[in-house]
Amino acid sequence: MQKNVWELKQLASDPTTLDMYVYGNVEGDRYDFWSGETIESETSANHFKLELAKYPEAKNINVYVNSYGGSCFEMMSIRNQLKISTATVTGIVDGFAASAASFILTGCDVVKMYSNTTQMLHNMLNVTVGNSKQLRKAADDMDIMMVGNRKAYLEKANGKLTEEKLIEILDGETWLTAAQCLEIGLCDEVIAEEVNLDTAKQLVQKMNVSMQQQIDYSKKIAMQLKEMVTIIPKEIIERPIQKSNLEKLRELYKNKNSEVK
């Protein structure tokens, strides 16, 4: 059966067990600049919280991951919700756990990977618009946020990975095999059999396209805002200010009074 990008369902054979599928991009709610409306995301941390609340008796949660990532902010919240859950959480990589998708695995009690699957770790990516001070602050803020992200990976590794080695992995945007993840503590068990990675490969191919599209879109918005703020068309500057009907009546009344005097 084809699985949705995001799905949380209860097993018919065992009502206390939930299967959660993270298949695709995870993103939060977004604001539509043109309509002024907030568009709710069905892959957000808030949506996950509401869905999880429907199953208060859950004792086991299986998290299947085949994703190129998404919003680190959303993944961090989902990760922490899994972390504090009273249920036993098992992460199962059956494709690629790239970028923020690898981060969500740090909230699982046990992580299993099929032998031909991988994780990809890198530093946070953001598109920022502003002056030089604002850009420097944005970079400093991301450095601080990465301290927290590294802590999550190190907690999962449980002493098998040093922070120096982790920084090297993140800086290199490194792809790790299941065996390598097991060695450094980011995986607890390698499942000997292999899975079909055709779908996962398609997701990774989309990853670069999706990220580039987001960057291009942000650049276009930034340019439009810059033009709106700094460029006023000459015809608008030279155009006489239109008077309201009330102002015209006031002016007419004033002129009539002047004629009487």
Q: Which domain holds residue 99?
A: 6-228
Residue 1 lies in a domain: no
Rounded-to-integer distance, Cα 60 and Cα 109, Å: 11
Residue 251 lies in a domain: no
Residue 258 lies in a domain: no
The pLDDT assigned to 162 comes to: 97
Please list the pLDDT of the chain residue by residue as tens digits (261 residues): 334 455 777 787 788 999 999 988 888 888 777 777 888 888 888 888 988 899 988 999 999 999 989 888 899 999 999 999 999 999 999 999 999 999 999 999 999 999 999 999 999 988 888 899 999 999 999 999 999 999 999 999 999 999 999 999 999 999 999 999 999 999 999 998 766 655 555 555 554 555 555 556 555 655 655 555 455 555 544 555 555 655 665 666 566 555 555
CA 136 to chain centre: 22
Reduced 3-state DSSP string for 126-175? CCCCCCHHHHHHHHHHHHHHHHHHHHHHHHHHCCCCCHHHHHHHHHCCEE
Q: Which two tokens stand for residue 74?
A: 């959303």
Instruction: Identify the CATH number of the domain in which residue 188 sits.
Output: 3.90.226.10
CA distances from 162 to 114, 148, 170 (A): 25, 15, 12
Residue 50 lies in a domain: yes
As for how many domains the chain has, the answer is 1
Rounded-to-integer distance, Cα 52 and Cα 82, Å: 10
Long-range contacts formed by 12-15: CB under 8 A, 24+ apart? 14/60, 15/57
The pLDDT assigned to 12 comes to: 75
Residue 255 lies in a domain: no
The pTM of the full predicted model, rounded to 2 decimals, is 0.71
